Structure 1
Amino acid sequence: FDLDWAANTTGATLKAGDYFTIDLPDTVIYSTDSSPIDFPIYDQDGSGAVIANAHITAGANGATAKVVFTNWVENRYNVNGNIQLSARFDLTRVPVNQSTSFTVSVNAGKSNTTSSSGSVNVAGPQVLTDESLNKFAWYDTENPHLANWEIRINHKKAILPNATIHDTIVGSTERILKDTIRLSTVQMDQYGNDIAGTSTPVDLTGKLTMSDNDQTFTINVGNVNGEQYRLTYQSTYTEGTNLNNKLTLTSVDQTYTFDARFTRASSGGSGSGDLANKIKLTKVDEDDNTITLANAVFTVTKPDGTTFDLTTGADGTVTSEALVQGTYKVKEKTAPSGYELNDTEYTLEVTAAGGALQTITDKPIKTDISVTKTWVGPKAGPVTIHLFANGTDTGSTLTLDDSNNWTGSFTNLRKYDQSGTEIQYTITEDTVNGYDTTITGDQTTGFTVTNTEQPKNITPPKQNTTTPKTSDSTNIYLYIGMMFVGILTSGYLFSKRHSYR
């Protein structure tokens, strides 16, 4: 059942917990094994917001869906949507092969009851003629992650020499469960149903081959002399997806194919509503619009010139109370911590058709950090400086050398994190061999990196350990000669003196 619904006569008075009911006719059966009893109804804009939740109460005949609104509907009007309910007709109560009328009621037994009628032609079992292959699937009631497959083979009782069955899953990563594959010879009635007591299992030893990561299997049946077969197996299944399958039966001179698809019968719905005479503001980071900003204060000027303030919440949004129609001016009064004030004034129109939405960006406060390199000793080659934010390497580097006069800056850095706390920046330098590194300064005044040459090891001169000599034997003959001359001179003077007397 694909039903449209509308709560557009309620104006903007809907509240969380308000509900309506849908009664399905007593000629259908709602299977809680194959269809969900609880499911959400989503906003049609794709935001993922749940506007209502539906619960199915299934009876022996018929079923009732109760749709309960969430707080999404509050301050909205013209709320409407669509709901799909999966059920099957009770063939014991519905005549086949002829048109049957049915009625769906909304809020049965209430003062605002409404109903809608339609008709359907339910086809009964059909006599099979010239059928070689048929395949169908159904939801596994014990495991929602499995699909049950059943194949009817050679109902027409053809002669098929060297017959082979080839089955494969198409366009999916689902797998066939080898241990669940069962092949039996059977006898079928004209409708394709097995006649009781005629099923005989076929031993698949040596006949069954798996391939394609268990997405394909092949059974070499051999010569088929008019036998009819029933083949069953299970595959994995991801709920909500379409599972496609291709089946081929080949023999020496004939090939038959059958394409099958399985999806679980589903229930669901969607809806929409207009924002009723309100202004909704969303504050986001200008660099990254996925970051919403709390605590932004806006001044709103009404058509009559009076003003009021709106402050964004934790999700970065704020919605006003219901407003009279007219032109409104919106301007940021206080920026969130860590952001520059946006001084743009926005003009918004509030009309009877709906409210006004405005997304407003703020620039994060940025900072630059300078780095200067000094040397104590000869300058070495280029050096690399790394930037850290709150102790974490940012991946940003500076290369300082003679070409930039040993100075540089890390630029366009966020000064505050998303909580409004100032980010603490530090730097490190790659090791320079033969130099000690000292870093001074801070992110406000800039950093200075000083490299001081390490002292070199100087070898002292070798000391002379020879003992000084107290005399010099090379002058002894000089001394002897001088003594001899002295003696002669004294003798000469003495003889002269004696002669004189």
Structure 2
Amino acid sequence: MLNRFKYIFSKLNVRHRVLLSALLLTLLATGITGTLAWNSGRQSALNQGQTSTEARPVHLLKLERDTEGNQTTVPVPGADFVLYNAQDPENPVQVQSTFTTDQEGRITVSLPPGRYFFQEIRLPYGFAPDLDAENQPIRRYDFTVTSSTTNDHPIVTAYNRRLSGDLIIEKTLVNDDGTELSEEQLAQLFEFRVTFSDDGTYAYQINGEGESHELASGETLQLRHGQRAVFTNIPVGVHYIVEEVGMEHGQANNSSGNISLDPSIVDFTNRDMTRLGNLILEKEVVNSDGSAVTDEQREIDFEFEVQLSNVPDGASFRFTTNRYQIDDDPDNDDDTREGTVANGDTLTLRHGEILTIHDLPVGTSYQIREVERPNFVSGTRDVEGNIVQDANNRHLFINSYQVDGGEPVLTFLSFEKQVISDDEAALREYFDFEVTFEPDEGQIFQYRIIENGIEGELQDFVSGDIIRLRHGQKVLFADLPPGLTYRIREIEIDRFLEALTTVGGQTVNGTSNGDETGNRNGSHHTFVNREIPNGSAQLIIEKRVEGVGYDAEHEFLFDLYINDVKQDGVIRLRSGETSLPIVLELGDRWRVVEHDSYDNGFSQEGISNGTGTIELEHIGRNVYVRQTNRYVRDTISLSGTKTWEMPEGVQTPRHITVQLMQGDIAVRQVNVEGPNWAYTFDNLPKFDNEGNEIHYTIREIPVTGWRAETNPENINLHNIWVDPVTASLEIEKLITGDAAPNAEQFEFVMNPGGHVVNITNSGQAHFPEISFDRPGTFEFTVHETRGSTLGWDYDNAEYRWFVKIEQDTDGLLSLTEQWLTKNGERIDGLQAVFTNRFDDSVLLEETLDIPVKKVWDHKELTADLQPDGIVVQLMADNKEVSRRQLTADMEWQTLFQKMPRYDSEGREIKYQVKESEVNGYSAKISGNAQKGFTIHNTYVGMEEPPSQAPDKPSTTGRLPDVGDGLTLTAIILGLVCIRIAYLLYRETKSKKG
């Protein structure tokens, strides 16, 4: 070795020799013992090349963007995504099957580092994709997973736009009798309370134009006939309830429901049951002697006091008269009488005049009393009654002027009963009348009952007696003296409304009204009764669901309100079911509200007769409330069966994996096992986001030895056994360079399949046989796993093995061609050859750091007698190469640094440690150079007490080595440098000589 250095130095000039000497001194000073920097960098590069493949948990978060376009923190469950591995951007690979966001809007997966993307394939009902800067829908979300990726935050945050719809509330008012609405009715305001399930506040406009009004959930708005309250931009799915405050006589459709893309129209139609009638008053003047009425008598104004009740306070009603017809001066317009009358007013009438009070509400009670006038006797002094629908509320007031002299003429009093009813029983019912006469003086009067023109027998009557009549009968009191005061009162029956209840006056003669027999010498009154409608109807709630795929056992809950009172309990119905009949009486109001079940996929599309009143046309009939829901998650279930066709002796696999495909996307995956080999996919979306029906197909993960056949009409699978073709690839390992000190095992991998073979040192091996059960050209990659053993240079070549399989008309498979490429270039032959080279010089550069630790077990030895230091020797092949002193200040530890791992012949150095004997202690040494040594000292008792330590350290003997562990190397290098310097000096001196 010295000769080599001498030769090298002889070829250098003085300058180069000095530089080389300086370099050697620098190496000595820095303690570098052969571990070169390039080797350390190479090892670092090797370490960095070991890529971590540990899966990292990550999650996608799906949130809502509201109808105004603002991002929210509201999660969106039920969104379907497909996950792709995008390591090869041109050919992304689907990972598993469909993922669906949970109730928190999350999808959580564990993925190894790499590039991926989520693609949204189905949105929940009521949502649309988010838009990019160019207003294009966003469906793909790319992301990258690294070894430092955490699950603390979403790796993807995606948004869906919440769609919105309109709510329109319409108000219509109609008169029950079909007449035109009055000005008062057109001006009437109706109040509506609107409730939203999200407790939101939304804006509306009257008739969709003009000023915008804000309405918070639970507040009210007002509408007139023909007006509409138009709400816009309400999120799809929000449940609403519209209630008319104080509604009477009418019905409403869609009074509750869910907002959809189409406008939700709520129509309230009220029927004004305020039928109107007229009250007619006639005036006639007669003379008691039968003489003609004079002109003066015609000009007399007779006064009538009017009392009206059951009418709005302050109400006034128009009246007209026919005075223009009886006026002798038709050109005098001042005689045309028209005006208004209210409760407490006084009206005047002249002879022959007919006064009509118009449009009194049915049910109005009235009392008309004529004011007494001297020398006149009132045949009808006062009447009391009610405005009754279809009744003739007409009353004749006769005044008889009493002419002096002449014999009084007997007169009559008659009254009849009329009943308005379609019920035959009501027409046969009897009504009681109380009749009084004054003065009566115990007089017995007589009357007879006339029916259908047939007079009955005379019957005795005493004032105050009760006379009973039924529909169509008439009572006739004949031959009554004039001037007799009478009063007729019908006794009320609850089931009937009386048009005339009481009438009073005096019997008069000389009259002209007469009766139906033509007798014109008396007074006649008609008592009309109308049966008050009554009865009941049955309310029945029907439940209907449109769509497919919903749970037929799902129960829908309904609340029922009768006359604004919520009934106890809830009504539970499934699709297609009806409730038990609910009996309601005439005039009862109902309201039916279904509980919101939008979160379960049901949108309330419409409810007919959701609100209403039992009217006459309902009596004795069923009233149906029909609630229709649409299942917005239209789903279907598909089932299939796996069948096998195989020769005898062939066994089916234990299970197969089946994928349901939507186009190129695997949306579901399931393992199928025998013996039935049946599979079902439930809750499959029936339509895509564009509303097109989805066509699903089936695919089987290939099973070796079997060919799968499908049918486009169903998702059944039929597997046919195919005798497979097998092939195997041979590899060879060659080694060049220096001889390796140890045997080395090399690993080779084939993909796909992850097949591994090992070769120790040089040699050949075959990968396991690959079985091909279908035609095609198959490609495999082969490479050597890069090892970490020092000194080896590994072959980085990549081979690709191509195998072409063809199938003939009989279904038999055959291997028709196979070939190899190396690093992209096709080569001859079918053997992959890998050549590795070993360089033993690298071994000289590897070093070790050897830690040594001291552990004491002093037992009962007191601290003042415990050792305060020891000496540890590092031995290399039983020769000391370094030593250290360990003390308590060093925590009884040391490190022998940068010790050579191999000797000059490439053999690994075996290191041990020894300890200079410690009096009274036994030593046990464990460990090795790679992991470190531990010296365990246990106190066993001293043979003699230790001598006192000297005040000054001894300067004789060998001092402990406290260097950096490179003493031996430093001595060798120092000797080399001295030798070189000597040779340099001698050569220089020789040249000078």
TM-score computed with the length of structure 2 as normaliser? 0.13
**Looking at CA atoms only, which structure, 1 or 2, has the larger radius of gyration?**
2
Q: Which has the higher relative contact order, 1 or 2, with Cα contacts under 8 A spaced 6 or more apart?
A: 1
